[in-house]
């Protein structure tokens, strides 16, 4: 399992109610389901991933986070998880506000465009950075809205969204991935 | 045709008040079972059939000698493994495979009911089948499932009996019959009623049945069960046993010949009046209307775990209508899964060998069953 998933799982309280938005093949859901809370379900757009989740015995709803979050009532989950998909949405601002409406808390992870290797790649090579977390070329990347950890924290501050922003400059330089718990 | 009197029947002696206001009692409900009910009685699945289905979901139908309509799904070693689960399937009331319907004898006249049979609804069908739980002494079913009109029965069942099934799988259905659905059913009914042999529904006393009308109804309906792409790939403009057009009205095209065949074999196994009654029941189905237009209210009291399935090429009960059920359940925080299965086979996909569909049901049922048993340990 990805190291990222361990960190996310450690942020979820036992026996809480969880929605994993863009749950992929269900690896994270499965881990949380077996170790933390069995009140978890996923929303996933890819048909083959939906099949993989069903095969794992997970509750999954085929759907598009940009359209289908609106069917859930306000604060209907203790946690809503969004793992590394925020940058791929057409309208990430709307998705964030929906996450915070549906969940009492949201756990959001983003690939950090401020990571030092990314900065050096762009500075020295002058081409769009390609790293382990950003493996695609500019012409085939699904990522439409890349940001840095600092960008995301600034955005939350601007919108009065509660976020932990300790050691911001350090993290922005040395973390490949930002993992945040945010709430209204 | 073999003797329909020999099919298994439960005589329901308790009176059943129908939505139309009439009360029926001492009426037969024909059913069939597959597999074995275990000692804990926790492995029972009630399958609901669609418009022209019957209780013979698996194995061989002894009346028609054809394979059961859900043979791909139900049977030993299949997605619903009858070595593990006990599957019950009943012929709906209004039907013509042994259950109480318009071809039964009206005790008042000693003739067939014909159109004097009361109009029945999906709610009535489900309430009649509920007696099977008492008959088999099953406190709680493991699952209820069905496609098309069978899916409507699933929704109505969970709404009427919120704690009587652990899981529910409505497939390719709707919570409210649309104008297009009603229009297509009306086409079929008018075709039957336009046949002189129909005789206002009292054709059995003339020993002439409205076969032409019923066959046309089936032909029209059959088109709605397939997709344009599926039809094009299977038939295209291929000609039927001829090299060129004949400039007449014989079946020049294979698709014409295919539909005529579908119509003609259908009349051998189905009763025209049952077709009228069952399509009417579908048209009257509007679960949200039963709850002041709020579908979520239909499921407020239930803890049943749902999995809803639709098909990409189904234009009769499209994904959007199935998704409305998902939304209604999500909006009140119920446990619901949903998958749209890719298939070119149209609405009929739920009856066919579509591996993703069969696997979805298999995985959902097996993991749900395991979880229930873990809880008990």
For B277-337, what is the HEC assignment?
HHHHHHHHCECCHHHCCCHHHHHCCCCCEEEEEEECCCCCCCHHHHHHHHHHHHCCCCCEE
pLDDT digits (tens, 9 = 90+) for B101-114: 999 999 999 999 99
Residue B34, CA distances (Å) to B51, B58, B60, B82, B323 in order: 21, 8, 12, 6, 31
- B141 three-state secondary structure: strand
What is the rounded CA–CA span in Å between residue B321 and residue A28? 30
Radius of gyration from C-alpha coordinates of chain B: 21
pLDDT at B173: 98
Cβ-Cβ contacts under 8 Å for A120 (sequence gap 6 or more): none
> Given pLDDT bands bounded at 50, 70 and 90, which one contains residue B116?
very high
Cβ-Cβ contacts under 8 Å for B340 (sequence gap 6 or more): A47, A62, B309, B310, B311, B312, B319, B322
Top residue of A62, A68, A80 to mutate, by most chain B CBs within 10 Å, is: A62
Nearest chain A residue to B368 by CA: give it.
A57
- A106 three-state secondary structure: strand
Confirm whether B314 is a catalytic residue.
yes
Nearest chain A residue to B342 by CA: give it.
A47
Please, what is the average pLDDT of chain B? 96
Top residue of A20, A33, A61, A77 to mutate, by most chain B CBs within 10 Å, is: A61
Top residue of B329, B334, B363 to mutate, by most chain A CBs within 10 Å, is: B363
- The beta-carbon neighbor of B338 closest among A55, A56, A61 is A61
Residue B374 scores a pLDDT above 90: no
To the nearest 10 degrees (0 to 180), the angle between helices B149-160 and B272-284 is 50
Instruction: Kindly tell me the sign of the dihedral angle through the C-alpha atoms of A133, A139, A142, A144.
Output: positive
What is the rounded CA–CA span in Å between residue B130 and residue B167? 16
Phi, psi for A84 (deg, rounded to 5): 55, 35
Phi, psi for B234 (deg, rounded to 5): -80, -40
| Residue A143 Ramachandran class (φ > 0 left, ψ -120 to 50 alpha, else beta) | beta
What is the rounded CA–CA span in Å between residue A23 and residue A31? 12
> Given pLDDT bands bounded at 50, 70 and 90, which one contains residue B78?
very high
Domain ranges of chain A: 3-182
Residue B259 scores a pLDDT above 50: yes
> Given pLDDT bands bounded at 50, 70 and 90, which one contains residue B341?
very high
- The beta-carbon neighbor of A61 closest among B337, B359, B368 is B337
CB B350 within 8 A of CB B172: yes
CB B13 within 8 A of CB B54: no
Does residue B37 sit at the A interface (CB-CB below 8 Å)?
A: no
> String of b and e for B88-116 (b: at least 16 CB within 10 Å)?
bbbbbbbbbbbbbbbbbeeeeeeebbbbe
- The beta-carbon neighbor of A71 closest among B327, B359, B366 is B327
CB B61 within 8 A of CB B68: yes
How near does any CA of chain A get to the CA of B6, in Å?
41
**Token pair for residue B191?**
């075709």
Kindly report the CA angle at B225 between B222 and B230, in degrees rounded to 5?
105
Domain ranges of chain B: 4-177+287-376, 182-278
**Token pair for residue A51?**
């099949």
Confirm whether B175 is a catalytic residue.
no
Q: Identify all chain B residues contacting A59, using CB atoms and an 8 Å cutoff.
A: 305, 335-337
pLDDT digits (tens, 9 = 90+) for B23-42: 999 999 999 999 999 999 99
> Given pLDDT bands bounded at 50, 70 and 90, which one contains residue A1?
low
ipTM: 0.90
What is the rounded CA–CA span in Å between residue B319 and residue B313? 9
**Whole-model pTM?**
0.94
Confirm whether B261 is a catalytic residue.
no
Q: Identify all chain A residues contacting B363, using CB atoms and an 8 Å cutoff.
A: 54-55, 57
pLDDT at B81: 98
pLDDT at B281: 98
Top residue of A33, A71, A80 to mutate, by most chain B CBs within 10 Å, is: A71
CATH architecture entry for A3-182: 3-Layer(aba) Sandwich (3.40)
Q: A91: number of CA atoms within 13 Å, CB side?
A: 9
- A99 three-state secondary structure: helix
**Token pair for residue A25?**
């093949």
**Token pair for residue B227?**
């997709």
pLDDT at A3: 85
What is the rounded CA–CA span in Å between residue B153 and residue B369? 22
Beta strands A177-182 and B23-24, pairing class: unpaired
Q: Identify all chain A residues contacting B339, using CB atoms and an 8 Å cutoff.
A: 47, 50-51, 54, 60, 62
pLDDT digits (tens, 9 = 90+) for A53-77: 999 999 999 999 999 999 999 999 9
The residue among B117, B118, B96, B98 whose CA lies nearest residue B202 is B117
Q: Identify all chain A residues contacting B338, using CB atoms and an 8 Å cutoff.
A: 60-63
Radius of gyration from C-alpha coordinates of chain A: 16
Q: Identify all chain A residues contacting B371, using CB atoms and an 8 Å cutoff.
A: 57
The Cβ of residue B121 has, within 10 Å, a number of other Cβ atoms equal to 22
What is the rounded CA–CA span in Å between residue B146 and residue B142? 14
The residue among B133, B135, B143, B139 whose CA lies nearest residue B81 is B143
* Cβ separation A47–B339 shorter than 8 A: yes
The residue among A58, A43, A101 whose CA lies nearest residue A76 is A101
Q: B47: number of CA atoms within 13 Å, CB side?
A: 31
CATH architecture entry for B182-278: Orthogonal Bundle (1.10)
- The beta-carbon neighbor of A59 closest among B327, B335, B360 is B335
Residue B377 scores a pLDDT above 70: no
pLDDT digits (tens, 9 = 90+) for B142-190: 999 999 999 999 999 999 999 999 999 999 999 999 999 999 999 999 9
Chain centroid to Cα B35, Å, comes to 21
Nearest chain A residue to B358 by CA: give it.
A51
Q: Identify all chain A residues contacting B362, using CB atoms and an 8 Å cutoff.
A: none
How near does any CA of chain A get to the CA of B59, in Å?
27
What is the rounded CA–CA span in Å between residue B128 and residue A105? 47
pLDDT at B334: 94
Q: Identify all chain B residues contacting A71, using CB atoms and an 8 Å cutoff.
A: 326-327, 330-331
Interface list for B 335-374 with A (CB within 8 A): 335-342, 356, 359-360, 363-364, 366-368, 370-371
How buried is residue A118: exposed, middle or buried, by Cβ count under 10 Å (0-12/13-18/19+)? buried
Q: What is the CATH number of domain B4-177+287-376?
A: 3.40.50.1820
pLDDT at B1: 46
Residue B119 gets which letter from DSSP?
A: P
pLDDT at A134: 85
pLDDT digits (tens, 9 = 90+) for B273-285: 999 999 999 999 9
pLDDT digits (tens, 9 = 90+) for A92-148: 999 999 999 999 999 999 999 999 999 999 999 999 998 888 899 999 999 999 999
Nearest chain B residue to A59 by CA: give it.
B337
């Amino acid at each position: 399992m990805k190291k990222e998933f361990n960190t996310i799982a450690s942020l979820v309280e036992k026996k809480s109610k969880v929605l994993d938005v863009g749950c992929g093949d269900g690896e994270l859901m499965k881990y949380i389901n077996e170790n933390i809370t069995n009140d978890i379900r996923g929303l996933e757009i890819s048909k083959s991933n939906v099949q993989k989740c069903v095969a794992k015995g997970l509750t999954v709803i085929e759907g598009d986070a940009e359209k289908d979050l609106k069917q859930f009532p306000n604060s209907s989950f203790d946690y809503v998880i969004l793992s590394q998909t925020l940058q791929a949405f057409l309208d990430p601002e709307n998705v964030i506000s929906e996450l915070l409406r549906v969940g009492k808390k949201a756990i959001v992870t983003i690939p950090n465009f401020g990571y030092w290797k990314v900065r050096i790649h762009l500075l020295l090579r002058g081409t769009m950075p390609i790293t382990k977390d950003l493996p695609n070329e500019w012409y085939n990347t699904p990522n439409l809205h890349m940001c840095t950890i600092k960008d995301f924290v600034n955005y939350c501050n601007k919108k009065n969204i509660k976020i932990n922003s300790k050691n911001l400059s350090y993290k922005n330089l040395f973390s490949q991935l930002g993992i945040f718990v945010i709430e209204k | 045709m073999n003797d329909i009197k020999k099919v298994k029947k439960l005589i329901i002696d308790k009176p059943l008040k129908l939505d139309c206001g009439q009360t029926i009692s001492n009426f037969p409900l024909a059913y069939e079972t597959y597999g074995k009910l275990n000692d804990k009685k926790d492995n029972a699945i009630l399958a609901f059939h669609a418009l022209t289905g019957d209780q013979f979901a698996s194995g061989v139908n002894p009346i028609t000698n054809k394979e059961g309509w859900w043979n791909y799904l139900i049977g030993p070693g299949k997605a619903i493994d009858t070595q593990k689960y006990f599957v019950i399937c009943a012929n709906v009331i209004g039907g013509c495979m042994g259950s109480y319907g318009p071809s039964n004898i009206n005790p008042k006249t000693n003739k067939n009911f014909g159109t004097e049979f009361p109009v029945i609804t999906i709610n009535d069908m489900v309430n009649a089948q509920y007696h099977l739980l008492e008959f088999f002494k099953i406190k709680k079913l493991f699952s209820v499932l069905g496609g098309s009109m069978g899916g409507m029965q699933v929704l109505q069942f969970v709404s009427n009996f919120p704690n009587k099934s652990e899981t529910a799988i409505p497939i390719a259905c709707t919570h409210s019959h649309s104008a297009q659905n009603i229009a297509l059913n009306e086409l079929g009914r008018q075709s039957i009623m336009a046949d002189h042999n129909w005789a206002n529904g009292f054709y059995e006393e003339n020993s002439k049945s409205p076969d032409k009308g019923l066959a046309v109804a089936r032909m029209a309906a059959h088109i709605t069960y397939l997709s344009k792409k599926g039809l094009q790939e299977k038939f295209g403009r291929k000609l039927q046993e001829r090299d060129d057009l004949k400039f007449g009205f014989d079946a020049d095209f294979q698709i014409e010949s295919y539909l005529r065949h579908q119509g003609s074999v259908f009349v051998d196994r189905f009763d025209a009046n049952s077709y009228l009654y069952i399509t009417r029941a579908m048209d009257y189905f509007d679960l949200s209307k039963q709850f002041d237009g709020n579908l979520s209210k239909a499921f407020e009291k239930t803890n049943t775990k749902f999995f809803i399935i639709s098909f990409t090429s189904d234009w009769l009960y499209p994904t959007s209508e199935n998704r409305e059920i998902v939304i209604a359940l999500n909006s009140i925080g119920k446990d619901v899964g949903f998958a749209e299965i890719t298939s070119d086979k149209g609405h009929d996909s739920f009856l066919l060998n579509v591996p993703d569909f069969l696997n979805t049901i298999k995985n959902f049922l097996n993991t749900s069953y395991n979880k229930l048993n873990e809880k008990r340990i």
